[in-house]
Amino acid sequence: MNLFALYIITLVSSFCSLAYQILIAHFLTEQIDIYIISQTTTFGIYALACGLGIIFFNQGQRDIFKFFLKIEIYLILSSFIIPLTFVLCHIFFNIFLFEKISQIFSIPIYYTEKSMLFLLAQIGVFILGFISGMEISSILKIKDKLYHSETKYIGLIFCAGYIGGLISSLVVPSVFVVHVGSLIGFLIVGSINLIFLLLFFILFYYKKWISRYLIYYGFSLSFFLGFLFLMSPGLFFKLENYNLKVMYSQVSVEKFNSNSFKNAHRMIGMLGDVQRFRSLYQTIDILDANFNSKILYFFKKMDFKILAKEKHPNFYLFLNRNLQFSSSGHKSYHESIAHAPINVTGHTPKNILILGGGDGILIKELLRYGKDIKITLVEIDQKIIDLSKNHVLMKSLNQNSLSSSQVTVIIQDALQFIKYTKNTYDAIYIDIPFPSNYNFMRLYSKEFFFNVNRRLDQDGFMIIDTIKLDMEDHKIQSKILINTLISAGFKKNRLMGFGDTNHFIIGIKKDKKMEFDYDNIGFFETNTLLNLRPVTDFDKIPIDADSVHSLYKPKWFLHL
C-alpha cells in the first residue's frame, strides 16, 4: 500500500509542479505574445531552479515526512500567491509605473511592460521550480527511508514522475488553458495539490491522527481552505477581466497617491468587458462599442498614429494581443489585400484559395467579383469560424459571407493543406498573423512559399500581409522575408511590395510589369487609396542564403 501511495504522490506532485510551469509560460505568452522566448525561457528557468532545489536539498533532515509536508504547503501557497501577485503587479505597474519608466529610459511603453512582466514571471517560476526540486528530493528520500536503499524502486518512481509530466503536458495546454484560462488553471491545479496533501495525511498519518503535526498543519490547511474559498472562480474571472481592461485601455496616472488610484479605478470601472475567447491556437479578444474611447490612448502609445486620429472607435479584434483589425482600419486593410493584386495584375481570379482569414471579411470583399468565383478557405481554428458565423458583431462585418454557397471552409493547418493539395489556384491570399510564435513562423517559411508557388496557376498571383516593409526600422525582418520568398522560387522582379499603414507583398509567376492602375480604382474607397503606395527599395535588399527562413533552419523574426 505504501509503495502505491508513493507512486500516486509522485504522479500528482509531478503533474502539479509541471502544470504550474506550463501555466506560467502560457500566462506570460498571453500577456506579452513572444511565444518562443516565453516558453523556452520559462521552461529553462524552471529546470534550472529544480536542479538547484535538488542540489541544495539539505540531506540531514531528521523528519523527512514533516519536511515534505512543509514543502507541499509552501508550494500550494506560492501557487496561489504567485499568479495573484503577477496580475496585481501588472495592474499596479500599468497604472503607476510603466509610463514613467518608459519616459526615464525613453523606450516605448510596451517594451517596458513586456520586459517587466517577463522578469516577474521568471522570478515566479524560479520560486516554484526551486520548491518543486525540494519536493522531488523529499519524495526520493521518503522512498529511501521506507525501503532502506537508494536504488530500489527508483526507476518506478521516475516512471510515475514522467507519467505525471505527460498528463500535465497534454491536459494543461489543451484543457485548462483553452477552457478556463491560465489564471483559473492555477486555482484548479492548486486545489488538486491541496487535495493530494490531504490524501498524504490520511495515507501516512492515519495512525497518528492527533499528533502535533496535525494541529500544526491543520491550522495551515484551514487557512488554505479559507483562502481557496475567497479565491472563488468568480473573483478570478473578475480579476482577469479587470486585468484585460487595464491592459487594453492603458489607463495611467501622473501622481502616486490613493486619490489618483481611485480615479483610475473608477475609469476602469466605466469600461465595458473585454470579450475573451480561447482556442488551442490563440486567444481572441473582442472589444466592442461598449469599450469606450479610452482605448485611443493605447493606440497613441503603441504608435498607431493613423488609428488614433479616428474620433469614434467601435470595436477591435485582437489575436494573441496583436491588433487584427478595428472598425476604422479594417476597410483599408481588407480592401487593400482583396483588390490590390487584381488591380496590379489585371487578372480577376475565378478559383481562389485563402489561407487564414477566418474572420470572413476578405471573403466578403472577394464575393463582390460575382457569382462565378469559387473560394476555398483554409483555417486552422474552428473557434474563429464559429465566431465569424455566430457573433453578432463579426456577422455584421463579414455579412455572413462564410455561409455563402460559393465558399468551402476547410479546417486544417495551412502548411499541411498546401503541401498535400492536388488543386491549383489562380489566386492565393495569405492572411495570417505576424510570425510571433512557432506555429505562425512555419507559415513564413521557404517550404510553405515553395508550395504556394507550386499551387499557383501560370497567370495567378499570391498576396501576403506582412510586417512593415521598412528598409530602416525593420531591416532584418524584411531581409529574411524577401530572401525566403526568393529562395522559394519567386523572382525578385516578380515581387511587389506596397502599403502605408498595412503592408503587403504580391508575387506572380510570369515576368510582367507590376504597377497600380490608378485610373481604374474599382472597389477601393478613398481611405484605402492611401495604402496603395509601392515600396520601391526592394533592390537594396542583398540576396543572402543565410537569411532564408526554413522549417529546418528557422530564423527568428524577433520583434522584442
Partner 1 sequence: MLSATIGNTFFCYSLTIGVFILFLGLGSASFDWIPRKRINFLNLAFIEIIMSINGLVGIYIITKSSLFYGSELFWIIALIPTIICGFFSGLELPFLIGLAPKKYLKVFGLDYIGMFLGAFLFPFFFLSYLGIFISSFVVAFLNFIVAIFLLYSSKGK
CB 460 within 8 A of CB 509: yes
The least distance separating partner 1 from the CB of residue 138, rounded to whole angstroms, comes to 10
* Window 96-135: residues binding partner 1 (CB under 8 A): 133
- Does 59 bind partner 1 (CB under 8 A)? Our answer is yes
Binding residue for partner 1 (CB under 8 A) from 81, 89, 146, 156?
A: 156
The least distance separating partner 1 from the CB of residue 241, rounded to whole angstroms, comes to 23
CA distances from 51 to 45, 54, 70 (A): 10, 5, 19
Residue whose C-alpha cell is 522578469: 119
- Does 147 bind partner 1 (CB under 8 A)? Our answer is no
- Does 214 bind partner 1 (CB under 8 A)? Our answer is no
Residue 52: partners with Cβ closer than 8 Å, 6 or more residues away: 130, 133
Binding residue for partner 1 (CB under 8 A) from 53, 83, 181, 358?
A: 53
The least distance separating partner 1 from the CB of residue 446, rounded to whole angstroms, comes to 12
The least distance separating partner 1 from the CB of residue 154, rounded to whole angstroms, comes to 5
Contact string 268-287 vs partner 1 (x = CB under 8 A) = ------------xx------
The least distance separating partner 1 from the CB of residue 57, rounded to whole angstroms, comes to 6
Q: What are phi and psi of 512, to 5 degrees?
A: -160, 140
Q: CB under 8 A: which stretch of 95-103, 161-169, 198-206, 458-466 binds partner 1?
A: 161-169
Q: Which of 11, 27, 22, 44 is nearest to 117 (CA)?
A: 27
Cβ distance to partner 1 smaller for residue 206 or 552: 552
Binding residue for partner 1 (CB under 8 A) from 78, 112, 122, 137?
A: 137
CA distances from 503 to 162, 434, 506 (A): 46, 12, 10
Q: Which of 82, 70, 67 is nearest to 21 (CA)?
A: 82
Q: How far apart are CA 212 and CA 221, in angstroms?
A: 14
Number of residues lying near partner 1 (CB under 8 A): 52
Identify the DSSP state of 177: I
Q: CB under 8 A: which stretch of 114-122, 162-170, 180-188, 461-469 binds partner 1?
A: 162-170
- Does 420 bind partner 1 (CB under 8 A)? Our answer is yes
- Does 518 bind partner 1 (CB under 8 A)? Our answer is no
CA quadruple 328, 332, 335, 338: dihedral sign: negative
**Strands, E, within 266-348: which ranges?**
275-278, 283-287, 316-319, 322-326
CB 30 within 8 A of CB 283: yes
Residue whose C-alpha cell is 497600380: 516
The residues pairing with 286 across neighbouring beta strands, listed in sequence order, are 275, 317
Q: How far apart are CA 506 and CA 346, in angstroms?
A: 13
- Does 440 bind partner 1 (CB under 8 A)? Our answer is no
**Helix (H), strand (E) at residue 355:** strand 351-356
- Does 150 bind partner 1 (CB under 8 A)? Our answer is yes
- Does 382 bind partner 1 (CB under 8 A)? Our answer is no
- Does 146 bind partner 1 (CB under 8 A)? Our answer is no
Cβ distance to partner 1 smaller for residue 39 or 78: 39
How many residues can be counted in the chain? Answer: 560
The least distance separating partner 1 from the CB of residue 466, rounded to whole angstroms, comes to 21
> What residues make contact with partner 1 under the rule CB under 8 A?
36, 39-41, 43-45, 47-48, 50-55, 57, 59, 133, 136-137, 140, 150-156, 158-160, 162-163, 165-166, 169-170, 173-174, 177, 280-281, 420, 438-439, 550-556
